[in-house]
Amino acid sequence: MAQTFIEKRKANWQRLEELIGRIRQVRGLQKFNRDEVRELGTLYRRAASDLAIARVESRDQRLVNYLNSLVIRAHGEIYRSESNGVRGILEFYRYDFPAIFRQTYRYTLTVFLIFLAMAVFSFVATYRDDDFSEHAYIPPAMVQHVKENRMWTDDINKEAPATAAYIMTNNIGVGLKTFAFSIFPVVGTVLILMPTALQFGGLNALIVKYHMVQKLYGFVAGHGVLEFTAIFIAGGAGLMIGLALLIPGERTRAQALVERGAIAIKLLAGCIPILIIAGIVEAFISPTPIHPYYKFAVSLGTAIGLAAYLLKPGKPVIVNG
C-alpha cells in the first residue's frame, strides 16, 4: 500500500516543496500569480490529508515524518506570508472573506431557500388560522400584542448597552448553532432553522392580517438584513462540511473535509462582525422612536453596503471547494 501511495502522491509533494522554496526566495506570496496561489493552497491541503492517511494506514515512520515536516513548513510559510498581525486580519475581511463568499454562494443560497420554504408554509398556515401560531413558536403574549396593535419591543431601548451585549452574544450563538447543525446535511439545517423560519413566517402573517406591517418592520428593518444574511452564510458553511463528508467526489472524505473545512471556518469567521453590527443596530436604532422611514433607510443602506462588500472584486485567495 505504502509504495503505491507514495507513487501517486510524490509529484504533488515535490511540487509543494518547489513552491515553499520559492516563497522563501521571494519572501512572501506577493510575487505569486493567481494560479500559483490556488495551486499552493490545494497542494497544502492535500499534503495535510495525505499525512492523516499515512498516520492511520502506513507503518513507514519515515513517510509520516516527511509529510509532517512538509505540512508544517508549508503551513508556516503560507500563514507567515498571509498573517501580519492586525494587517493580516484587515486583509482577510477586506479581500478574502468576500472572495470566499462569492465562490461558495450556492451553499448560502441553499440555506436561504430552505428557510424561505418553511417561512412561506408558516405564513400561509397562520394567515388562514391564527391558532397555527402555537406551532410556529410564537408566544401567546406576542400574538395578543399583535391583535391589540401594540409592539412588544418598546422596553428594549431603556437598557440599550446591556441589551446590545445580550443581542450580540445571542446572534453569534445563533450563527454558531446554525453552522454546527448544518454539518448534518439538510436535516440539520432544517432542524436548526425551523423555529426561526416558522416564527418569521407566522409573525409576518399576523402583522399583515392585523395591519401592523409598518410598526413591526419599522423595528425589524434596520438589523434584519445583516442578521439573516450572516445566519444564512453560517448555515452554508456548515452545509459545505456536511456535503464534503456525504459526497466527497473524487477526493477521499478526509481530503474533502480538510479542504472544505478550512474554507467553512473562514466563512464562519466572516459572519461574526456582521452579527455584531446587527446587534448594535438592533439595540440602539431599531427600538428608537423615530419615523420608520429612517429605519427603512438604514435597512436599504445596510443591504446596499453588504452587497457591495460581498460582491466587490478583489485579489485571489486560496480556495478550492
Task: Please check whether residue 74 lies inside any domain of the structure.
Answer: yes
Instruction: Give the Cα separation of 113 and 191 in Å (integer).
Output: 14
Domain that holds residue 260: 101-311
Instruction: Give the Cα separation of 271 and 179 in Å (integer).
Output: 11
Task: Please check whether residue 160 lies inside any domain of the structure.
Answer: yes
Express each pLDDT in 272-312 by its tens digit.
999 888 888 877 777 777 777 787 888 889 999 999 999 87
**pLDDT score for 86:** 66
Q: Write down the pTM of the prediction.
A: 0.69
Do 306 and 186 sit in the same domain of this protein?
Answer: yes
Do 185 and 126 sit in the same domain of this protein?
Answer: yes
DSSP state of 288: S
**pLDDT score for 81:** 55
Query: Which residue, 36, 54, 82, sits at the end of a domain?
Result: 82
Q: Which amino acid is at 320?
A: N
**pLDDT score for 154:** 54
Q: Give how many domains the chain has, as a whole number.
A: 2
Do 112 and 69 sit in the same domain of this protein?
Answer: no
Distance of CA 207 to the CA centre of its chain: 30
Identify whether the C-beta of residue 321 lies closer than 8 Å to the C-beta of residue 240: yes
Number of H helices, E strands in the chain: 12, 0
Do 108 and 73 sit in the same domain of this protein?
Answer: no
Instruction: Give the Cα separation of 159 and 161 in Å (integer).
Output: 6
Identify whether the C-beta of residue 206 lies closer than 8 Å to the C-beta of residue 126: yes
Task: Please check whether residue 95 lies inside any domain of the structure.
Answer: no
Radius of gyration of the chain (CA): 24
Query: Which residue, 47, 82, 117, sits at the end of a domain?
Result: 82
Do 13 and 128 sit in the same domain of this protein?
Answer: no
Do 23 and 113 sit in the same domain of this protein?
Answer: no
* Burial class of residue 86 (count of CB atoms within 10 Å of its CB; 0-12, 13-18, 19+): exposed
Q: Which amino acid is at 9?
A: R
Express each pLDDT in 5-44 by its tens digit.
777 888 888 888 888 888 777 666 666 777 777 888 888 8
Identify whether the C-beta of residue 154 lies closer than 8 Å to the C-beta of residue 75: no
Task: Please check whether residue 157 lies inside any domain of the structure.
Answer: yes
**pLDDT score for 319:** 45
Do 118 and 168 sit in the same domain of this protein?
Answer: yes
Q: In which residue ranges of the chain is pLDDT below 50?
A: 157, 160, 316-321
Closest CA to 316 of 108, 106, 105, 29: 29
Identify whether the C-beta of residue 297 lies closer than 8 Å to the C-beta of residue 131: no
* Burial class of residue 189 (count of CB atoms within 10 Å of its CB; 0-12, 13-18, 19+): buried
